[in-house]
Amino acid sequence: MPNPKRRHSKSRGAKRRTHYKASLPALGECPNCHEQKLMHRACPNCGYYNGRAIIISKETK
């Protein structure tokens, strides 16, 4: 593995990291209750995922 011969300056490392950005989480609409929710996650509002209830809350029972 090649190793750097000289230590890179703080500004050089910082310049490279200007492209490092936090991306927005993938948001989508719940097909059951049409609330905005995170994709590939059960809906926090109705507890549905992939067409069936995953989280059964005390309110719905």
Q: What DSSP line would sit under 34-59, residue for residue?
A: --EEETTS--TTT-EETTEESS--TT
Size of the site for Zn ion (CB under 5 A): 6
Q: Residues 18 to 47: which contact Zn ion by CB under 5 A? A: 30, 32-33, 43, 45-46
> Considering the complex, what minimum distance in angstroms separates the CB of residue 25 from Zn ion?
16
Report the alpha-carbon distance of residue 2 to residue 16 in Å, rounded: 19
Contact 45, 33 (CB under 8 A): yes
> Considering the complex, what minimum distance in angstroms separates the CB of residue 26 from Zn ion?
16
Return the number of the residue (33 or 54) whose C-beta is nearest Zn ion. 33
- Given the rule CB under 5 A, which residues bind Zn ion? 30, 32-33, 43, 45-46
